[in-house]
Amino acid sequence: MKDLSVLVVGGGSGLGALLVRMAVDAGASKIGIIDINRDAAETALESARAKGLPTASAQCDIQVGPQCQEAFEAIAGQIGRIDTLVNCAAIYPRRPILEISDVDWDASNGINIKGTYHMMVAAVRHMQQHEPKADHVRGRIVNLTSVDAFKAHPQNAHYAATKAAVVSLTRSFAHHVAKDGILVNSVAPAGMATERARALGFLDELAKASPLGRGAEPAEIAEWVLMTGGPKNTYMTGENVIVSGGYIYA
């Protein structure tokens, strides 16, 4: 991420906060966070501020388009050009397939699909105004999807459906903005050994599902996100990178 300005949506906690720290360690020049929890976003920016980097945060309900545009513009107004947007915000409310309520659907669709869409729109409008850099790239967008988009998941079908939708959105946006030099890709992890997975007792399930016998460490997924959204990616767009430890073929 050397010399890139990075904005992480959902960067206040979990994988998003880890991505912020790893982007700083990888040489990012500026860091922004958009999150529903402003205090968490401010805490997650401490590693960047410790290195003297310009930072900015904004609170936003990403289900609301105008809020997304305002939050993105607020971040850009403070730290300038945004080179890489990472859409990391999502919810994962498990529910058996015959018990998914309208409330469950609306929440999952609103955050996982609409929120990702709104932030991509804001990023594209911003990046289209840039002059391309020496590598011909005006900007990069990376969306977090899931291997569940490609595998049956009756315990979380609404989540899986939203992530399949994000794969489709990624391809549509990539095609639309290719002429502008904006690269749009997604990264699809299998289950991660997060604190939430530990708290909910998912780790044994993840280990059994993976040919490697374990869930992914969050840093193992974050590395692929940073590579896809970093300066070494100058040609890949419209792709979905599956990082599943073999779960996709198991």
Could you tell me the CA-to-CA distances from 212 to 64, 87, 94, 195, 243 in Å, in that order? 40, 27, 24, 20, 12
The alpha carbon of residue 45 and the mean position of all alpha carbons in its chain are separated, in whole angstroms, by 17
| CB distance 176 to 199 below 8 Å | no
**Given the residues 92, 117, 159, 247, the one annotated as active site:** 159
Structure tokens at 151: 């595998």
Q: What residue type is 105 in one-letter code? A: W
Phi, psi for 117 (deg, rounded to 5): -60, -50
| CB distance 84 to 142 below 8 Å | yes
Look-up: residue for tokens 């994000």?
166
Q: Is 117 part of the annotated catalytic residue set?
A: no
Give the end-to-end CA distance of the chain in Å, rounded to a whole number. Answer: 33
Residues annotated as catalytic are 159
